[in-house]
Structure 1
């Protein structure tokens, strides 16, 4: 009994010494916080805009041609030249037309002379009235033929129907062309500039006339609006033609340029998705992605799975699972665990 009591006293004494000695107990080393960069989730209404590819054109692009066949005498303008209303642009040789016009004048003269000879005779009863009526008809026909040829001769020159620019000149001086062959194509600046695009039936159902449009250009962007949507799809392609008006298009915006445009959808009750940097993704499968979301105290993170609406540039579009303003780890997530402490790097670092 005495030996057991001494042993107990010794154990208690050693234990007391251990409590009094600060070096006897070793505290567990603290894990330093992981430096991260964070970004706040923001609404991205532009993510639902319909993307399309279109071609810039003048509202009115006018093909001009000669009314008569003949040899092209020359042009006063070339491609890309500006033109003003009424300016002479091209001319066809009129030698043949002038010959036709002289022949028509001769037929008119003869028909009038024939009628003048018959009129006194019919008054005296020497000639039947039917012959006079036939002579009058012959004169009318000859005059009509001459007027038609004179009209055609007046169209042996091409003049600008509006202020604009020459878009095409498919002919060259010296060519012999039939009547109606396009000699020039003029872009009418007064009519304005538009974009023509083809949309699928799914996309065209999302937009309406009057909807806002943004046009991406290398040196900036233009704004416009949808002014026309085809009521019937194009045969063979199934796409619907959409016309966008650009009221503030610069003068040097060339017709035929291929551009990308974004069309605002019809207003609806569906809230827009949220956008966060795509670098925030740590895992992904299908339309689900896992992110690190900063806790309310700003000192820790939690893993959270969100529903993805898609990607737009460098942004991840989140349809559900994240609230506007919540912060996600956009850089440094590879070094985190769910129980990690974090230190948020200042903006711009």
Structure 2
């Protein structure tokens, strides 16, 4: 019995030894990785900045004459139509001035008529008659001025638009020309106004394309073009203001929304650079870096030089050609020349 057990144990040990030898001599499995193709892009980095959405034309409305506000017929955010009365001041003083000018003009007219008869009878001189005519002309001009001021004793919407700000309230005393309402005209559309640093403003030209994203409308991308570029910096911020005119859209836009601008200068589109995903960069030292390139089932280490980083992509000065496959997921665990197994996108590596 003991002899039979010994031989069974010996055979088992030999079998285990044979299996271990087979495992040791098996070829190592290929490392699972994911790859992405290098692609061409602008030669210079895009410009990213934040700005405010504004109506293209903001009209500050005021009374030509000072006075007490009798009525403010609109609220902030209210849409108005061209010709709609928005505000009015008390007319007692205005009407009194018009009446005084009318009475003075009527008296001057009567004086001229009487002077014409007296001159015909040679009672007054020609010079005296001319003085009466001058007084009549002056009074007529004063009447026109008073009537003109009376016509501007109310504020009327010059265009269709939206009331952006209400700067006064009813029964307030306002000076002549002091803004009472700010109207955003709808017919000129919207712009995004932003401040740009000096190293970026020199790259931007009129009509450069821009993309706009609003925090209030997540997932929506608007398009537009640079419409205005300041020729001098803002003394307060040191930045150069630009306006981006938005293309027509059906989105519910409101003045004052925070916007994120993405501008690709036209000069950057004149040339191209090769881009790779940032995940393909294995190690770097300043502008020097390393990536792995897929070569017939093997990962080959290759040195590259970085031009700039744009979000999730890296623009290269050299080292990679367009459409070459670079390793992204799994690149950190590779050795030069190691066999790899490319995994489909979306799965687990």
* TM class, shorter-length: 0.7 to 0.9
Structure 2 residue 253 is the aligned partner of structure 1 residue 253? yes
Aligned-residue offset at 1:46: 8.8
Within a 5 Å distance, the mapping from 1:197-236 to structure 2 comes to 197-217=194-214, 218-235=218-235
Do 1:49 and 1:264's aligned partners in 2 also have CA atoms closer than 8 Å? yes
Distance 2:172 2:287 in 1: 63
**Equivalent residue for 1:341?**
339
Aligned-residue offset at 1:83: 0.9
Q: Give the 3-state SS of the residue equivalent to 2:191 in structure 1.
A: strand
**Equivalent residue for 1:17?**
none
Distance 1:283 1:82 in 2: 57
CA shift in 2, pair 1:247/1:340, >3 Å: closer
Q: Give the 3-state SS of the residue equivalent to 1:141 in structure 2.
A: helix
Q: Which moved more, 1:66-75 or 1:96-105?
A: 96-105
The alignment's C-alpha RMSD in Å is 2.4
Structure 2 residue 87 is the aligned partner of structure 1 residue 86? no
CA shift in 2, pair 1:251/1:149, >3 Å: farther
**Equivalent residue for 1:66?**
63
Distance 1:150 1:122 in 2: 33
Distance 2:82 2:270 in 1: 50
**Equivalent residue for 2:11?**
none
Alignment equivalent of 2:153, drawn from 153, 156, 178: 156
Do 1:193 and 1:249's aligned partners in 2 also have CA atoms closer than 8 Å? no
TM-score normalised to structure 1 length:
0.84
**Equivalent residue for 2:9?**
none
Aligned-residue offset at 1:56: 2.1
Distance 2:100 2:326 in 1: 90
Distance 2:335 2:276 in 1: 23
**Equivalent residue for 1:302?**
300
Structure 2 residue 40 is the aligned partner of structure 1 residue 39? no
TM-score normalised to structure 2 length:
0.84
Distance 2:188 2:98 in 1: 37
**Equivalent residue for 2:329?**
331
Alignment equivalent of 2:187, drawn from 185, 190, 203: 190
Structure 2 residue 221 is the aligned partner of structure 1 residue 242? no
Deviations 1:253-280 (A, max 9, x none): 122323222223225653233122x222
Q: Give the 3-state SS of the residue equivalent to 1:59 in structure 2.
A: strand
Alignment equivalent of 2:125, drawn from 125, 128, 151: 128
Aligned-residue offset at 1:102: 1.6
Aligned-residue offset at 1:93: 0.6
Do 2:306 and 2:315's aligned partners in 1 also have CA atoms closer than 8 Å? yes
Q: Which moved more, 1:168-177 or 1:53-62?
A: 53-62
**Equivalent residue for 2:271?**
270
Q: Which moved more, 1:129-138 or 1:87-96?
A: 129-138
Structure 2: runs of 5 or more not aligned:
1-17
CA shift in 2, pair 1:251/1:108, >3 Å: farther
Aligned-residue offset at 1:231: 4.3
Within a 5 Å distance, the mapping from 1:21-32 to structure 2 comes to 28-32=25-29
Aligned-residue offset at 1:192: 2.2
Do 1:222 and 1:248's aligned partners in 2 also have CA atoms closer than 8 Å? no
Structure 1: runs of 5 or more not aligned:
1-21
Q: Give the 3-state SS of the residue equivalent to 1:60 in structure 2.
A: strand
Task: Report how many residues are paired.
Answer: 324
Distance 1:43 1:80 in 2: 46
Deviations 1:158-198 (A, max 9, x none): 11101111111101001001110111111111122222333
Deviations 1:207-229 (A, max 9, x none): 32232221123231111222333
